[in-house]
C-alpha cells in the first residue's frame, strides 16, 4: 500500500509548483494511473504546497489542512484513472477533491491568522506598516469565521489560489454566474464584519469584481 509519508512530503515549499505545464501533469497522472510511484512523488512535489494552502484557506486549521491535503493525494493515487483530461485540468480535479473534503468536515473550524498561509513580510517595510498589515490580515481571517464553508471556498479559490471566476466555478461544480453570486455574498459578509470590527474596508485583501 502506498502512503504519502513514504516520500517525506513535509516541507515541500520548494516544490515544482506548475513547472512543466498542463501537459506534464497529464503525463504524470497517466503514469500514476499505471501505478508509478515516482510519477506520484513528482505530482506531490508540484502541487502539495498550493493544495495545503487551499485546504487551510477553507478549513482555517493548519493541522486539518495537512490531513486534507494528504487525503486528497491519496484519492489521486487511488483514482487517477478516473481523471479525464478532456473535461478539465488536473488541478481543477485536485482542487475539487480538496473543496469537497473540506466541506465534509462538520466541526466548526478554528481559524489561524491569514499570514500563516505563507506570505513573507517585506523586510524593507517600516515596522508600523508591517504591524498594520498583519492586523488587517488577522481581522479578515477572523471575519471569515462567520461565513459558510462554501463562501470560504470561493474566497480561497479566487483570491488566494488566484483562479479565474470560470476556473473556480468549475472546481466547485457550479456555473460562473452562480460562483459570482457566491463570491459577492462572501465579500459582502466579510466587509460587513470588518466594518463592525472597526476596519473601514477590505481593500487590498478582498477586492471587488470577478474576472471571467
**Residue 93 falls inside a structural domain:** yes
**Residue 179 falls inside a structural domain:** yes
Residues 136 and 160 in one domain: yes
Binned at pLDDT 50, 70 and 90, residue 134 comes out as low
**Residue 1 falls inside a structural domain:** no
Q: What is the pLDDT of residue 89?
A: 92
Which domain range does residue 125 map to?
Answer: 119-196
* Last residue within a domain, chosen from 104, 130, 156: 104
Q: What is the pLDDT of residue 5?
A: 46
* Last residue within a domain, chosen from 79, 104, 129: 104
The domain that contains 185 carries what CATH number? Answer: 1.10.10.10
SS3 62: helix
The model's pLDDT over 71-106, given as tens digits with 9 standing for 90+, comes to 999 999 999 999 998 888 999 999 999 999 998 875
Residues 37 and 89 in one domain: yes
Residues 27 and 95 in one domain: yes
Give the cell for residue 208: 471587488
The domain that contains 58 carries what CATH number? Answer: 1.10.1740.10
Lowest mean pLDDT among 63-72, 130-139, 140-149: 130-139
Give yes or no for a contact between 94 and 51, defined as CB atoms under 8 angstroms apart: yes
**Residue 12 falls inside a structural domain:** no
Could you identify the residue written with the cell 504519502? 4
Residue 157 burial (C-beta neighbours within 10 Å; 0-12, 13-18, 19+):
buried
Could you identify the residue written with the cell 473543496? 99
Residues 48 and 123 in one domain: no
**Residue 114 falls inside a structural domain:** no
Residues 130 and 75 in one domain: no
Which among 62, 75, 134, 129 has a CA at the least distance from the CA of 101? Answer: 75
Average pLDDT over residues 107-119: 45
SS3 60: coil
Q: How far apart are CA 142 and CA 56, in angstroms?
A: 14
Q: How far apart are CA 212 and CA 176, in angstroms?
A: 8
The model's pLDDT over 8-64, given as tens digits with 9 standing for 90+, comes to 433 333 345 555 577 889 999 999 999 999 999 999 999 999 999 999 888 888 888
Binned at pLDDT 50, 70 and 90, residue 133 comes out as low
Residues 83 and 134 in one domain: no
Residues 90 and 143 in one domain: no
Please say if the pLDDT value at position 112 is more than 50.
Answer: no
* Last residue within a domain, chosen from 104, 138, 165: 104
Q: What is the dihedral of CA 103, 73, 170, 156, to 10 degrees?
A: 60
Give the cell for residue 74: 491519496
Give yes or no for a contact between 105 and 64, defined as CB atoms under 8 angstroms apart: yes
Could you identify the residue written with the cell 500563516? 116
**Residue 11 falls inside a structural domain:** no
Please say if the pLDDT value at position 136 is more than 90.
Answer: no
The model's pLDDT over 180-195, given as tens digits with 9 standing for 90+, comes to 999 999 999 888 888 8
Q: How many domains does the chain have?
A: 2
- The answer for residues whose C-beta is within 8 angstroms of residue 176's C-beta and 6 or more apart is 165, 166, 169, 212
- The answer for residues whose C-beta is within 8 angstroms of residue 206's C-beta and 6 or more apart is 140, 155, 159, 187, 190, 191
The single-letter DSSP state of residue 200 is -
Higher pLDDT, 126 or 191: 191
Residues 123 and 98 in one domain: no
**Residue 9 falls inside a structural domain:** no
- pTM: predicted TM-score of the whole model, two decimal places: 0.72
Higher pLDDT, 112 or 14: 112
**Residue 4 falls inside a structural domain:** no
Q: What is the pLDDT of residue 196?
A: 80
Amino acid at each position: 500500500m502506498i502512503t504519502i509519508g513514504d516520500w517525506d512530503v513535509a516541507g515541500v515549499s520548494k516544490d515544482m509548483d506548475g513547472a512543466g505545464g498542463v501537459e506534464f501533469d497529464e503525463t504524470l497522472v497517466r503514469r500514476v494511473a499505471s501505478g508509478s510511484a515516482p510519477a506520484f512523488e513528482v505530482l506531490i512535489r508540484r502541487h502539495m504546497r498550493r493544495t495545503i494552502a487551499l485546504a487551510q484557506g477553507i478549513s482555517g486549521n493548519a493541522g486539518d489542512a495537512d490531513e486534507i491535503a494528504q487525503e486528497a493525494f491519496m484519492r489521486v493515487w487511488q483514482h487517477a484513472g478516473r481523471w479525464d483530461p478532456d473535461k478539465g485540468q488536473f488541478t481543477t480535479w485536485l482542487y475539487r477533491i480538496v473543496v469537497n473534503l473540506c466541506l465534509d468536515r462538520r466541526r466548526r473550524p478554528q481559524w489561524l491568522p491569514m499570514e500563516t498561509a505563507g506570505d513573507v513580510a517585506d523586510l524593507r517595510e517600516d515596522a508600523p506598516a508591517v504591524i498594520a498589515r498583519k492586523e488587517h490580515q488577522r481581522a479578515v481571517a477572523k471575519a471569515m469565521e462567520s461565513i459558510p464553508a462554501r463562501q470560504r471556498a470561493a474566497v480561497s479559490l479566487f483570491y488566494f489560489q488566484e483562479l479565474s471566476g470560470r476556473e473556480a466555478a468549475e472546481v466547485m461544480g457550479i456555473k460562473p454566474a452562480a460562483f459570482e453570486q457566491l463570491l459577492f455574498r462572501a465579500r459582502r459578509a466579510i466587509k460587513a464584519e470588518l466594518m463592525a470590527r472597526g476596519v473601514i474596508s477590505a481593500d487590498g485583501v478582498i477586492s471587488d469584481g470577478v474576472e471571467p
